[in-house]
């Protein structure tokens, strides 16, 4: 029961790529029984003309070849490239199974056996496209038809059986091709969603950078020119120097006011809106989110600071991890507001990015504390804030 609940929890927490990949991998398992069922259901076996030992041997080799080829297809479903060992396993198992069918005295069961071996031998070629498995299927179908009992009949029957066998082989290989195509499409869509989320974050930061540049760049240029003029007038002993210095000071104060207004508008974000936006951002990036928010009325400064922790934490999840699950928790406890952002898929050593450093500096005037840790591939970001904190503006 615990294993079943664990499977259900995994299914809820994994993304669409993992689900489609699992479905495709599991769908191959029933095909492993096709070979033994086809061979043992041959009508001639009911007459007892084939020894049980020979039948068991041919079923064993056909099943082994099916399992070997299924392992090769499984690697393709996972998006991995075939190694030389994989190709050797694929071709070696097929050759052994074919030789066993030729050598063992199994009578009319040889034809169905060859068909099963041929179908699994052609299946991995589905990953290479129809230009590979169509000619290979025609060649193998003709060989199977000639090796079966139809070689004793007229040539027209050989041709008819060849095309019937080719149709079966074509269906098997094309089914593998369609399955791999479906998995790759879902994988590319997930990559596109993640890229779109990263571009959205980058665009927002570029927008803010442009706003700051438009405000600060112009004013700093004016302040520099006015300061140079004031210095030159002072060296000449001109009374206008004081006026120019006063003008430079006024420009600096006005620029500081505009920067504060821009930053205040940028950072005055609502906690509830940020939680909803973070969940949508994670969903578009293919990350499952679990959001819990249990807080009473908070001051604007604390709500804004908590929202910034959520924003920075989710930004790190999207940009710096291969997460499939992210948990966001905001709760009030003992006069403190606790924010926690946890995600899996963390890679590389624990770093001190500029975003986290800036976030810690943002919380410090509020009496808040920011901590983070990484355990294996799980990254946890925590923030602890007093509920009654008020921001003290520096240089106001």
Q: Rounded to an integer, what distance in angstroms lies between the CA atom of residue 363 and that of residue 361?
A: 5
Structure tokens given for 216? 């600060």
**pTM over cut 0.85:** no
Contact 314, 326 (CB under 8 A): yes
Residues 6+ apart with CB under 8 A from 22: 14
Q: Rounded to an integer, what distance in angstroms lies between the CA atom of residue 267 and that of residue 301?
A: 10
C-alpha distance from residue 84 to each of 66, 87, 180, 277, 299 (Å): 19, 5, 20, 47, 64
Q: What is the pLDDT of residue 148?
A: 60
Q: Domains in the chain and their CATH numbers?
A: 2-190 (no CATH), 198-267 (1.20.5), 271-386 (3.30.565.10)
The list of the chain residues with pLDDT below 70 reads: 1-13, 39-51, 107-109, 147-164, 215, 218, 261-269, 284, 296, 347-354, 389-396
Q: Rounded to an integer, what distance in angstroms lies between the CA atom of residue 38 and that of residue 271?
A: 63
Contact 345, 363 (CB under 8 A): no
Exposed e or buried b per residue across 10-38, where buried means at least 16 C-beta atoms within 10 angstroms of its C-beta: eeeebbebbebbeebbeebeebbebbbeb
Q: What is the pLDDT of residue 18?
A: 81
Structure tokens given for 9? 């929890």
Helix, strand, coil share (%) of the chain residues, nearest 5: 75, 10, 15
Q: What is the pLDDT of residue 381?
A: 92
Q: Rounded to an integer, what distance in angstroms lies between the CA atom of residue 311 and that of residue 275?
A: 8
Cα 87 from chain centroid (whole Å)? 28
pLDDT, one tens digit per residue, over 365-381 is 888 899 988 887 889 99
C-alpha distance from residue 370 to each of 22, 66, 333, 373, 388 (Å): 39, 55, 16, 11, 17
């Amino acid at each position: 029961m615990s294993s079943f609940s664990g499977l259900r929890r995994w299914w809820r927490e994994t993304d669409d790529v993992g689900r489609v990949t699992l479905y495709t991998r599991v769908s191959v398992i029933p095909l492993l029984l096709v070979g033994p069922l086809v061979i043992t259901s041959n009508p001639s076996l009911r007459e007892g003309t084939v020894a049980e030992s020979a039948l068991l041997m041919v079923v064993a080799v056909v099943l082994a070849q099916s399992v070997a080829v299924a392992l090769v297809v499984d690697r393709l479903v996972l998006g991995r490239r075939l190694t030389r060992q994989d190709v050797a396993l694929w071709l070696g198992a097929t050759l052994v199974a074919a030789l066993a069918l030729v050598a063992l005295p199994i009578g009319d069961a040889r034809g169905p056996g060859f068909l099963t071996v041929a179908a699994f031998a052609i299946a991995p070629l589905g990953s290479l496209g129809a230009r590979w498995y169509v000619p290979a299927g025609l060649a193998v179908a003709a060989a199977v038809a000639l090796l079966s009992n139809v070689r004793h009949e007229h040539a027209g029957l050989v041709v008819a059986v060849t095309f019937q066998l080719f149709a079966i082989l074509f269906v098997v290989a094309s089914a593998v091709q369609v399955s791999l195509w479906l998995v790759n499409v879902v994988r590319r869509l997930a990559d596109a969603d993640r890229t779109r989320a990263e571009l959205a974050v980058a665009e927002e930061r570029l927008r803010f950078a442009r706003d700051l540049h438009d405000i600060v760049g112009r004013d700093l240029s004016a302040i520099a020119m006015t300061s140079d003029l004031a210095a030159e007038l002072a060296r000449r002993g001109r009374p206008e120097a004081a006026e120019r210095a006063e003008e430079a000071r006024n420009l600096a104060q006005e620029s500081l006011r505009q920067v504060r207004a821009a930053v205040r508008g940028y950072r005055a974000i609502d906690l509830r809106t940020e939680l909803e936006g973070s969940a949508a951002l994670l969903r578009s990036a293919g990350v499952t989110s679990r959001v819990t928010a249990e807080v009473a009325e908070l001051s604007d400064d604390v709500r804004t600071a908590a929202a910034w922790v959520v924003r920075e934490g989710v930004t790190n999840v999207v940009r710096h991890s291969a997460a499939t699950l992210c948990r966001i928790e905001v709760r009030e406890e003992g006069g403190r507001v606790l924010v926690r952002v946890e995600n899996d898929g963390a890679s590389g050593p624990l770093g001190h990015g500029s975003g986290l450093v800036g976030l810690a500096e943002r919380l410090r005037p509020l009496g808040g504390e920011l901590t983070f840790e990484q355990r294996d591939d799980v990254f946890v970001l925590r923030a602890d804030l007093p509920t009654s904190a008020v921001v003290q503006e520096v240089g106001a």
